[in-house]
Structure 1
Amino acid sequence: MLKKDFYKNLQPLGIVFGDIGTSPIYTISLMAIILKQKDPTLIMGGISLVLWLIILVVYLQYVLIVMNLSKKGEGGQLIIREYVLSLIKNNSFLKIIVSFLGLFGFSAVVSEGILTPAISILSATEGIKLINPTFNNTTLIILISIFISIWLFSIQKKGTDKVSFLFTPIMIIWFIFLFFIGIIHIYKFPYILTSINPVYIIELLKGDPQDFLLIISFAMLSITGVEALYADMGHLGKKPIIFSWNLVFISLIINYLGQGAFFLQNYNKITEYNSLLFLMVKDTMPILYIPAVILTLLATIIASQAMISAMFSIFYQTSNLNLLPRLKYFHTSPTQPHQIYIPFINYLLLILVIFSILFFKSSEHIANAYGLSVNITIVISCIMAIIAFIYLRNYLFALILILLLLPVNLVVLVSNLHKLEEGGYFPFFIAIIIFSLVIIYTNGNKKLGRSLNYEKFSEFIKNYELLYSSENKIKGVAVFMLRDIKMISPYIIKTIFDFKILYEKNIFLSIEITQNPYNIEYNHIKIEEDKTNSISFIKIRAGYLEIIDLNEIFKKLNISPTIVFYGQENINTNKLHMKIYSFMRKISPTIVDFYNFPLHKTIGIVSNIYL
């Protein structure tokens, strides 16, 4: 039992900490190349910035404060949005602000997810440069990185069940490696330990005010991936994540200190941008250099895999919450029902990752663009938490966030603005597109809902009984998808009364996605008002992270549908935003396709709508 609990507490190492855990590959290296040309001793301030950002943002803001805000243990940008909205029900203006902030935070997370695999894989592949001078070839590094990316995305449809058990052990080895390589160089130059003193940050500001914000923007790369601690609470648990984070924290702090010590002792040898981590290994234990590069590649692949899986989960979540169109998904694990694969997202991510690698060409150039969207997400989480704790009357947390953490986050955000000119516009532009599509889709759904002429059930049942008593019936069971039993969809009226398609048994099926992440319940209800004894109602209530298997539910209810009807709207419009909305609906799978009904049993009834 203890062994099982211990492994559970370590499991987040292979899932949550890939991004933040591979940041040492490039974070200090980017500072070093700038400070070497100025005053190498200022690296003490750079290391101090990294240490204090990790302490304040990761430990204080997320682990100790934000992770207290959850819905049934779930966290993340969409969760904190729903959580805060539930607290401010009577403040319509604040609800709009919170809703928009939450949606943009979600968009920023997705956009930064494009650069994470690109910078991770590129930075690890660049380690081959120090193996042999012939490998110091940008084209070769780009080609290897693209090959690894294609391989990684191509295996997604098969699932990662067969190899995922290796993720945690590999990441344990990775963090042990970071710890020991750091300890070796701290031992050689123990004075680096004094960099924990924030006075060095002030000295950095005085010594090089012009580049101070630039150094902060690179220090911020040490906390990319922090949102994963919050977002992965649901399926891993808060306690295991915090337990694992304590181990990761020690490993990262020691390694960053070790890199600072190595730089101060060897800055004269550094002539071009290279990862200090790789230089440390090459200098200390050259015989282990190739295994270290392989380990780094494995760690970055695991970090990228975690991001890809997170993207699948996020987009399934947005489909269920009706924020974006439904996307076709497939189960990839017989033992883990929430492990899914979404082909469209997979190949879109692959294209964008390859484009990022070709566009930026090196991890150094990606790093110049990386972090802005993450920083926006951190600021939004901070603002959301402030609102939540004020409403919860936890004024201590609210004051810490307002007086300390929000100012720190805003300074870091300002420091990152220069990245807009150096490629940061790419993820920011992607975030704007995603945010715009969410707004277009949600507003389009509202307009479509208002344009449809629903019939009250009380009116419907009267006409239905008259028709049922006079018309011939088709043998079998027909299922009609609808939103609410009280209001009958126009396509059902058209099917039964206009087309005279009437089955012996007719079931109205409603699926309600709740604001809670998990739990699924359903019941088959006989409608008392129905004198024909031919209509019944199935209502399914499911959390937005639940995978709904309608075929399985029908089996459990002992129902074998002959046919399943669903409504489709053909939207006609002259407005650009509604044309985009119409296109989004056309390319998304239908509700029956989304829930994996056999196609030969489904019929879509089309209605022309003018918006």
Structure 2
Amino acid sequence: MLGALGIVFGDIGTSPLYAVQTVFSIDDNAVQPTVDDVYGVVSLIFWSVTIIVTLKYVTLVLRADNDGEGGIMALAALVREVSAPFARRAAFALALGVLGASLFYGDSLITPAISVLSAVEGLEVARPELAELVLPIGVAILTALFVVQRWGTHRVGRLFGPVMVLWFLTLAMLGVPHIVQHPGVLLGLSPTYALAFIADHPYTAFIAMGAVVLAITGAEALYADMGHFGRRPIRLAWFSLVFPALIVNYLGQTALILDDPRAIDNPFYLLAPAWARLPLVVLATLATVIASQAVISGAFSVSRQAVRLGYLPPLTVRHTSERESGQIYVPAVNWLLFGGVLVLILVFGSSARLATAYGLAVTGTLLLTTTLLLVYAATAWRWPRWRIVLVAAVFGGLELLFFAANLTKITHGGWLPLLVAIVVVTVMTTWQRGRRIVTGRRAELEGPLTEFVERMRVERVPRTPGVAIFPHPTSETAPLALRANVEFNHVLHERVVIVSVVAENVPHIHMADRVTVDQLGPADDGIVHVAARFGFQDEQDIPAVLRHAHGLADELDVDPSEASYFLSRMSLERGSQPGMHVWRKRLFIGLAHNAATPAAYFKLPVDRTVVMGSRVEL
């Protein structure tokens, strides 16, 4: 639970820094610091957090985990699995998952930038003479955050957990004195004030919803980070500390505005007495670093899920915990996010300007998650139609209102997350389409493995002394490197071992259960297939597997350090084949060239590894 506090709730936990301030600054202060408007705003915030975060995500969505993993891609995979008999529904689910993941990447870029800037900008309140240092300090903090990712979210979570406990306690302590001075603000918890605000000022309320959504940013990160800590710690932390502290602070900010309308300039920092503002800036900065961690960790999880589903090329993924499969570090995603965040900070320059770009990615992802959840509930949980309609009306109706309100921001920076989403969707769909085409053509080149083994036996191809190891993903087709060796060198090694690596979603596979041997044909043909199962925390070390498999077959009675290793690799070239536009072919080839190499994964000795293959036109 302490680790979850340090990772999962950073994003939503720092929303008080800018949510209320943004509501009262939109559209040239359309929302006024009057009793009716203030009660209406706090009521909108309370019920938005209650309905979207508490009821939807914490209560319902966290139930939809995919082997412990969360996030919209994991939910899409679940829907695809339960919708297998319905091809169109399964394809629709994956399409929504890809779109939602793309929007989440946009959120992952904006959240670190706006969170850290909003905290450091507290210097302008506590020490106005330090205003020029806001940007340099923000850049330095974010640089340090992305650098420490390599040590893993488990260690970072233990470090950040106590800080976030202090942060949420501080949120509550800042709010309580102002609520005591103005207890009438508690009336704002009644939904009647939100409804009255909407009825009396429909246009103003509609515009305000575009800023109220800032109070629920981080809900999707909460789900995406579920694989890091599990469902139960997240729920316990939310109900026991996070939810009460957030609401008390929002109530305190609105009470302060009623007492002093000038506080709308920065109601969060003005909650604190003057002597406490500089220490509060330091604490808020630490908290916003943690907010950034929440979406960064979520981006790692979503990326790995996209790779597993075939929508991104193989990425280097490092597991950072021996107990949780979701605690990972993805270097490529980490540094791409870092570059994007720096560009955003330097271009927009302030949290107020970044706030205009916020919202579309969040609300779009909320709607997509609700759609997938309803499909999953109808199929897997067997919900009756009336319950689906009710949930769709409550969650979907509110989220549609949020989304429509944020559409007004497109020309003021809202285009940014849409642009990011378009780029990511293009990359994902291009890789998925290209991979299907290349896999089909590769299978044609490889041909069935059983036929190849039979032909080698019938044709009596000359055998050369030695052992050849061929890493290959399946036992169905012949490795390209094996076929190329026979066709060009007209020889076959005396002993041939085809090794397929199978990744399991458990921490470790015991050596006794790791290896399965298939002779493929006659036991004396010198060709054998080995299936090697690995847990997510196991090193995918093929030479170590061969040492363990010694004695299981004659072909495996070898010293792995003396064997030769052959990797199958396709040389992709852009051709005139139909199936993809020319620009998408170029993009796919570029992605393939930058994909992680399997040699390092499999711990193959460099001086005994040969790369062979064939040319494939795309």
For 1:553 and 1:404, locate their aligned partners in 2 and report how far apart those are by CA, in whole Å.
54
Q: How does 1:8-23 map onto structure 2 within 5 Å?
A: 9-23=1-15
Q: Give the C-alpha shift of residue 171 in structure 1.
A: 0.5
1:93 match: secondary structure = helix
Q: Which moved more, 1:225-234 or 1:371-380?
A: 225-234
The yes-or-no answer on 1:200 pairing with 2:210 is: no
Other-structure match for 1:118: 113
Q: Which of 260, 266, 287 in structure 2 is aligned with 1:266?
A: 260
Deviations 1:264-303 (A, max 9, x none): 1111355xx43x211111xxx3222222111111111122
Deviations 1:229-254 (A, max 9, x none): 32233331211111111021111111
Query: Is there any run of 5+ residues in structure 2 with no aligned partner, and where?
Result: 551-558, 576-581
Other-structure match for 1:287: 275
Other-structure match for 2:86: 91
Q: 1:22 to 1:269 in 2, by over 3 A?
A: closer
User: Is the CA contact 1:461–1:530 (under 8 Å) kept in the aligned structure 2?
Assistant: no
Deviations 1:509-565 (A, max 9, x none): 223457x6877674230415134352222224568x666523454454457262322
Other-structure match for 2:207: 214
Other-structure match for 2:382: 393
Other-structure match for 2:25: 33
Q: Give the C-alpha shift of residue 354 in structure 1.
A: 0.6
Q: 1:92 to 1:364 in 2, by over 3 A?
A: same
Q: How does 1:141-540 map onto structure 2 within 5 Å?
A: 141-159=134-152, 164-246=157-239, 247-268=241-262, 270=264, 273-274=265-266, 276-281=267-272, 285-330=273-318, 339-391=327-379, 392-395=381-384, 397-452=387-442, 453=444, 454-465=446-457, 471-475=462-466, 477-500=467-490, 502-512=492-502, 522-527=514-519, 529-532=521-524, 534-540=526-532
Q: Which moved more, 1:100-109 or 1:210-219?
A: 210-219
User: Is the CA contact 1:465–1:532 (under 8 Å) kept in the aligned structure 2?
Assistant: no
For 2:507 and 2:394, locate their aligned partners in 1 and report how far apart those are by CA, in whole Å.
35
Q: 1:200 to 1:591 in 2, by over 3 A?
A: same
For 1:324 and 1:517, locate their aligned partners in 2 and report how far apart those are by CA, in whole Å.
23
Q: Which moved more, 1:293-302 or 1:29-38?
A: 29-38
Q: Give the C-alpha shift of residue 39 in structure 1.
A: 2.7
For 1:483 and 1:269, locate their aligned partners in 2 and report how far apart those are by CA, in whole Å.
62
State the one-letter code of the partner of 2:268: L
State the one-letter code of the partner of 2:19: T
Q: Which of 540, 544, 548 in structure 2 is aligned with 1:549?
A: 540
TM-score normalised according to structure 1 size: 0.90
State the one-letter code of the partner of 2:39: M
Other-structure match for 1:567: 568
2:316 match: secondary structure = coil
Other-structure match for 1:599: 606
TM-score normalised according to structure 2 size: 0.89
User: Is the CA contact 1:74–1:517 (under 8 Å) kept in the aligned structure 2?
Assistant: no
Query: Is there any run of 5+ residues in structure 1 with no aligned partner, and where?
Result: 1-8
For 1:418 and 1:519, locate their aligned partners in 2 and report how far apart those are by CA, in whole Å.
50
Other-structure match for 2:75: 80
User: Is the CA contact 1:65–1:397 (under 8 Å) kept in the aligned structure 2?
Assistant: no
User: Is the CA contact 1:328–1:593 (under 8 Å) kept in the aligned structure 2?
Assistant: no
CA RMSD of aligned residues (A): 2.5
For 1:269 and 1:233, locate their aligned partners in 2 and report how far apart those are by CA, in whole Å.
37
Other-structure match for 1:3: none
User: Is the CA contact 2:499–2:529 (under 8 Å) kept in the aligned structure 1?
Assistant: yes
For 1:381 and 1:345, locate their aligned partners in 2 and report how far apart those are by CA, in whole Å.
23
Q: 1:269 to 1:455 in 2, by over 3 A?
A: closer
1:536 match: secondary structure = strand
User: Is the CA contact 1:12–1:241 (under 8 Å) kept in the aligned structure 2?
Assistant: yes
Q: 1:560 to 1:117 in 2, by over 3 A?
A: same
State the one-letter code of the partner of 2:294: A
User: Is the CA contact 1:30–1:218 (under 8 Å) kept in the aligned structure 2?
Assistant: yes
Q: 1:555 to 1:317 in 2, by over 3 A?
A: farther
User: Is the CA contact 1:36–1:267 (under 8 Å) kept in the aligned structure 2?
Assistant: no
Q: Which of 37, 45, 53 in structure 2 is aligned with 1:58?
A: 53
Q: Give the C-alpha shift of residue 484 in structure 1.
A: 2.2
State the one-letter code of the partner of 2:298: A
Deviations 1:393-426 (A, max 9, x none): 2126423322211111111111111222111211
Q: 1:89 to 1:472 in 2, by over 3 A?
A: closer
Q: 1:538 to 1:111 in 2, by over 3 A?
A: farther
Q: Which moved more, 1:554-563 or 1:121-130?
A: 554-563
For 2:292 and 2:73, locate their aligned partners in 1 and report how far apart those are by CA, in whole Å.
21
Q: How does 1:120-139 map onto structure 2 within 5 Å?
A: 120-137=115-132
State the one-letter code of the partner of 1:112: D
User: Is the CA contact 2:453–2:527 (under 8 Å) kept in the aligned structure 1?
Assistant: no
For 1:386 and 1:334, locate their aligned partners in 2 and report how far apart those are by CA, in whole Å.
34
Q: 1:171 to 1:213 in 2, by over 3 A?
A: same
Deviations 1:293-318 (A, max 9, x none): 11111111122223323323332333
State the one-letter code of the partner of 1:394: W
Q: Give the C-alpha shift of residue 368 in structure 1.
A: 1.1
How many residues end up aligned between the 2 structures? 591
Q: 1:595 to 1:301 in 2, by over 3 A?
A: farther
The yes-or-no answer on 1:586 pairing with 2:593 is: yes
Deviations 1:448-487 (A, max 9, x none): 12223232223211232356x6624232x32212232122
1:326 match: secondary structure = coil
Deviations 1:40-76 (A, max 9, x none): 1212111111101111111111122222222333321
Other-structure match for 1:68: 63
Deviations 1:294-345 (A, max 9, x none): 1111111122223323323332333333221112345556887764433322
Q: Give the C-alpha shift of residue 567 in structure 1.
A: 1.8
State the one-letter code of the partner of 2:455: N
State the one-letter code of the partner of 1:280: L
1:201 match: secondary structure = helix
For 1:29 and 1:325, locate their aligned partners in 2 and report how far apart those are by CA, in whole Å.
42
State the one-letter code of the partner of 2:519: I
Q: 1:518 to 1:431 in 2, by over 3 A?
A: farther
Q: Which moved more, 1:497-506 or 1:181-190?
A: 497-506
User: Is the CA contact 1:312–1:341 (under 8 Å) kept in the aligned structure 2?
Assistant: yes
